[in-house]
């Protein structure tokens, strides 16, 4: 689950890639009438087109969310960069996918490679 935290860190690099270069949109464009952002519905393309500071805020949120789910409080910077690259590559190829789906796929693949079985 530590890898999950690291993937959130990976999103920062993803948001700043030039492959999705366009006029940035603030994440506030995606909030509902009550001011809430449903992070489980955002696509790779939507997130790639946001402002860096919004991407950083969202990355911090994902990190906290995944850390809470995993009951972890550590960060592996090296692994974070590896996961970052994997998320970027996946999202470039699949801009219509939800970012949460991209992360789940990357984590599943990593667990398989490492021989980790979830209970």
pLDDT in single tens digits along all 119 residues of the chain: 545 544 555 555 555 544 445 688 898 999 999 999 998 998 988 877 878 788 767 766 776 677 678 788 777 767 766 777 777 778 888 999 998 898 888 878 877 888 888 66
Quickly list DSSP for 17-30.
Answer: -GGG-S--B-GGGG
In 3D space, the residue among 77, 98, 93, 76 whose CA is nearest the CA of residue 17 turns out to be: 93
Token couple for 117 = 């079985």
Domain ranges of the chain: 2-114
Q: Count of CB atoms within 10 A of residue 110's CB?
A: 18
d(CA 90, CA 18): 15
pTM, full prediction: 0.66
Q: List Cβ neighbours of 6 (8 Å cut-off, separation of 6 or more).
A: 75, 76, 77, 79, 80, 82, 83, 84
């Amino acid at each position: 689950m530590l890898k999950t935290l690291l993937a959130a860190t990976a999103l920062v690099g993803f948001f700043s890639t030039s492959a999705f270069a366009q006029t940035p949109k603030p994440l506030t464009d995606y909030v509902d009438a009550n001011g809430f952002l449903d992070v489980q519905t955002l696509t790779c393309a939507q997130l790639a087109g946001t402002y860096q500071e919004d991407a950083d805020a969202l990355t911090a949120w994902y990190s906290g969310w995944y850390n809470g789910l995993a009951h972890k409080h550590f960060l592996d910077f090296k692994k974070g960069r590896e996961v970052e690259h994997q998320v970027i590559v996946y999202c470039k190829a699949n801009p219509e996918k939800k970012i949460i789906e991209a992360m789940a796929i990357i984590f599943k693949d990593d667990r398989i490679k490492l021989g980790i079985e979830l209970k």
